[in-house]
Amino acid sequence: MKNNLRALAQCAVEGLERLYPDAACSLTYEKPYELLIATRLSAQCTDARVNIVTKVLFERFPTLQSIAEADVEEIEEIVRPCGLYKTKAKSISKMAKRLIADYGGELPDNMEELTSLPGVGRKTANLVMGDVFGKPAVVTDTHCIRICGRLGLTESKEPAKVEKDLWAILPPEKSSDFCHRLVVFGRETCTARSPKCGACPLRQYLEDCGMGCAARGKRIRDKRQDI
pLDDT 10s digits, 131-162: 999 999 999 999 999 999 999 999 999 999 99
Statement to judge: residues 9 and 68 lie in one domain: no
Alpha carbon distance 149, 211 (integer Å) = 15
Residue 26 lies in a domain: no
Residue 204 lies in a domain: no
Residue 218 lies in a domain: no
Statement to judge: residues 58 and 105 lie in one domain: yes
Statement to judge: residues 81 and 110 lie in one domain: yes
Q: Which domain holds residue 92?
A: 32-131
CATH number, domain containing residue 112: 1.10.340.30
Handedness of CA 77, 78, 81, 84 (dihedral sign): negative
CATH number, domain containing residue 11: 1.10.1670.10
Query: What domain count does the chain have?
Result: 2
The pLDDT assigned to 19 comes to: 96
Residue 172 lies in a domain: yes
Global confidence as pTM: 0.89
Which amino acids are annotated catalytic? Answer: 123, 141
Statement to judge: residues 123 and 146 lie in one domain: no
**Tens-place pLDDT, residues 56-65:** 999 999 999 9
* pLDDT category of residue 214 using cuts at 50, 70 and 90: confident
Residue 8 lies in a domain: yes
